[in-house]
Structure 1
Amino acid sequence: MIGLIVNPIAGMGGKVALKGTDGVVEEAIRRGAKPVSPDLVRLFLRELSHYPESDSILFLTGPGPLGEDYLREFGFRFEVLPLRKIHYRRVLDVYIPDTSAKDTRELAREMLGRTKLIVFAGGDGTAKDVVSIVDRKVPILGIPTGVKMYSGVFAISPEKAAEVLVRFLRGEAKLEEREVRDIDEDSFRRDEIRARTYGKALVPVFENLVQGSKESVKAEEGEDLEALADAIAEEIIESDGIYFLGSGSTLKMIKDRLGIDGTLLGVDVVEVRNGKVKLLVKDATERDLLRFADRKPKIVVTVVGGANFLFGRGNQQFSPAVLRGIPKENLIVVATPSKVRNGYIRIYTGDREVDDKFRGYIRVRVSPWIEKLVRVV
């Protein structure tokens, strides 16, 4: 029996620059957010249904939007655990279930001893809730539907989560201990990073289908990174136009050198004219970026260390709608050598056509003088 726990509101804060959804779902909706987790769970189940092993899987899940609804939709066999009745409430024109972290923990507790693997849909907060109950007693696997997803327990996409599950059932996936990490979202929204490890989990791993944990910049690369930030800032100042500047410490160095009050953990929009830099939008949402998408903007981003993601982890403001009209050559990628040492970068926006546009090889600036060709997968 396989456990399935769905956090149906996970990820809603991503496109609207809230860096997470914990405690701010109403604000996310007011900014225009819609639920994203249900559709990503459907991608997982649709992919899983293509494997012959799907006929033999019996799921243990929660009621309604906690898992039951999606399994019923795709015709999977399942048993629903007894839990409180889930109610819906309306915020503006969006109906959302009144689910909570307590529901996740209660379902995980009930699944102990009854499942050989617990698959959950959410982000780092959901991973933290699951591991707080199961520890290393039962393997877990995350379907990435949240905003941050810096823990090493997530498949690289919902579709690949289905493949990892099948490999696990075939006995082809090995179990590894992986860290579950989370960032305090209130501090995160104030551009402060307060991260901690909440435990370790057993995770089924097959080839490169499960991401690693987010890594920090190595100390010995600090000086090189500062020199790289200087070089990129100088090049931006010398080339007029609109720039979307991504998130992270590497980009914050560049923003500081441009002389703008940019965010550490958000996306900022700047305009360069005749060597002068003007901050147009600080901490931009997807909607903000779309206002400038037809002005041939350049996007400056870095790679999430460990997870190896360019888009799809912590920067969902760069949505398919934003990226669709931006050519690959308008992408400026900067990273320390350690972040691209594996020779590849991942991208997952949820839109296959957009993802395919950026796949292939891309130039990554790893020093003021050196570019490295890295494969985007």
Structure 2
Amino acid sequence: MKVDQGLCLGVLVNPYAGLGGSVALKGSDGVQTRDEALRRGAKPQAPGRMSRALKALSAATKVSVLTWGGDMGENSCRSANVPCTVIGESPMPSSPDDTRAAAAALKAAGAELILFAGGDGTARDLVDAIGLGTPVLGVPAGCKMHSAVYAVNPEAAGSLLAELAGGGLVALESAEVRDIDEAAFREGVVKARHYGELQVPAEARYLQQVKCGGREVEDLVITEVAAWVADSLEDDTWYLMGSGSTVAVVMEQLGLENTLLGVDLVRNGEVVAADLGARQLLEHIGDAPAKAVITVIGGQGHLFGRGNQQFSPALIHRLGKENIQILATRTKLETLEGRPLLVDSGDPDLDKQLCGLWPVTTGYEDQILYRVGTNASLIES
């Protein structure tokens, strides 16, 4: 994919993508879920995340931008000081039908690449609307992002677009879009299937990998990791037990019920509250000693920003790096092939502060140092 005469970029935002993440709803699909998320105080994040991606293009001269009106793209462009042409508008609140209509219109208007902000549901809508006909690049903004069409964070999307706008030679490849049963997801069961494919710029250092599903095969090693964590818990300390099967084994070792895809609060050997959102967690722990136990998403390497938005920037600040324990087997880390663990908290300044070498618990009394970064290149810039 060579850009010589300038890139005609389509910009599309699903403004309600990821709305339920920070309030422990584990998704945003459907009108009822969206309305409940708003009732709980959730704030739309997708328009702001799109603005972060577009800022890399604010000085570009070889990019023309087509977009949809209001929060479906126009406002993000204005916020990033990127000139744009609005080719249509939908009434708010928008629906999947609006997303599909806007994507088809952007393609018909000549967009050579569509930059979209959303989650797996949004990617699914693009498969329906444009298929493999127009390349896309996802700005991660949803709760569920198992698909391989997303940049690792908004800034990575912007960097890739800047390469294209500068005349860089970037190959294209077909990437998998995964469809997850959100109702089952809320019950702690991951049912994901291949839904379709979209074309994406093939730059591995900017793109997340398809999420690896299933339980880690090294069950004995995971049990050893969990046993050490269980033996190391301190009295009178709040423990925020993150999502994922590895942390679930820790809870098994403790003999406690677990929310597989949520965040539970443990203190003095008891579950004090289960499946909490970011604000509830902050209210419970107050100023008392508190630690988080989290794991790595297999294949992608994300620590924050994928399926655990309950760990909001404010909550991560409150905990501090020294009170966050990462669990992963060496085999899981080896699948990253040297790529760093990734943070995409929603606060780019915080993400930069989290970069560097972290201790990772890989067995009983066994830790290694592993790099955390904000993009998937081997060396953090």
TM (norm. structure 1) is 0.89
Report the residue type matching 2:307 in the other structure.
G
Q: Report the Cα distance in structure 1 between the residues aligned to 2:347 and 2:107, rounded to whole angstroms.
A: 35
SS at match of 2:183: helix
Q: What residue in structure 2 maps to residue 299 of structure 1?
A: 292
SS at match of 1:317: coil
Q: What residue in structure 2 maps to residue 254 of structure 1?
A: 250
Does the CA contact (< 8 Å) of 2:56 and 2:162 recur in 1?
Answer: no
How do 1:1-377 and structure 2 match up within 5 A? 1-23=8-30, 24-50=33-59, 54-82=60-88, 85-86=90-91, 97-112=92-107, 114-169=110-165, 170-216=167-213, 220-236=217-233, 240-272=236-268, 277-291=269-283, 292-341=285-334, 342=336, 343=338, 344-377=340-373
Q: Percent identity?
A: 40
Structure 1 gap ranges (5+): 87-96
Does the CA contact (< 8 Å) of 2:55 and 2:81 recur in 1?
Answer: no
Does the CA contact (< 8 Å) of 1:55 and 1:76 recur in 2?
Answer: no
Does the CA contact (< 8 Å) of 2:68 and 2:74 recur in 1?
Answer: yes
Does the CA contact (< 8 Å) of 2:48 and 2:76 recur in 1?
Answer: no
Residues 136 and 331 (structure 1 numbering): CA distance in 2 closer, same or farther, change over 3 Å?
Answer: same
Report the residue type matching 1:307 in the other structure.
Q
Report the residue type matching 1:7 in the other structure.
N
Q: Report the Cα distance in structure 2 between the residues aligned to 1:327 and 1:217, rounded to whole angstroms.
A: 30
Report the residue type matching 1:12 in the other structure.
L
Q: What residue in structure 2 maps to residue 89 of structure 1?
A: none
Does the CA contact (< 8 Å) of 2:123 and 2:177 recur in 1?
Answer: yes
The C-alpha deviation readout for 1:91-112, integer Å capped at 9, x for no partner, is xxxxxx3101111111222233
Q: Report the Cα distance in structure 1 between the residues aligned to 2:116 and 2:12, rounded to whole angstroms.
A: 5
Report the residue type matching 1:39 in the other structure.
G
Report the residue type matching 2:254 in the other structure.
L
Cα offset for 1:174? 2.3
Q: What residue in structure 2 maps to residue 93 of structure 1?
A: none
Q: What residue in structure 1 maps to residue 379 of structure 2?
A: none
Report the residue type matching 2:346 in the other structure.
G
Q: Report the Cα distance in structure 1 between the residues aligned to 2:355 and 2:88, rounded to whole angstroms.
A: 45
Cα offset for 1:369? 4.3
Cα offset for 1:29? 1.4
Residues 72 and 298 (structure 1 numbering): CA distance in 2 closer, same or farther, change over 3 Å?
Answer: closer
Q: What residue in structure 1 maps to residue 376 of structure 2?
A: none
Does the CA contact (< 8 Å) of 2:313 and 2:346 recur in 1?
Answer: yes
SS at match of 1:38: helix
Report the residue type matching 2:39 in the other structure.
R
SS at match of 1:59: strand
Q: Report the Cα distance in structure 2 between the residues aligned to 1:322 and 1:22, rounded to whole angstroms.
A: 25
Q: Report the Cα distance in structure 1 between the residues aligned to 2:35 and 2:305, rounded to whole angstroms.
A: 23
Report the residue type matching 1:209 in the other structure.
Y
Report the residue type matching 1:315 in the other structure.
N
Report the residue type matching 1:247 in the other structure.
S
Q: What residue in structure 2 maps to residue 90 of structure 1?
A: none
Residues 369 and 173 (structure 1 numbering): CA distance in 2 closer, same or farther, change over 3 Å?
Answer: farther
Report the residue type matching 1:198 in the other structure.
Y
Q: Report the Cα distance in structure 2 between the residues aligned to 1:47 and 1:75, rounded to whole angstroms.
A: 10
Q: What residue in structure 1 maps to residue 4 of structure 2?
A: none
Report the residue type matching 1:134 in the other structure.
I
TM (norm. structure 2) is 0.88
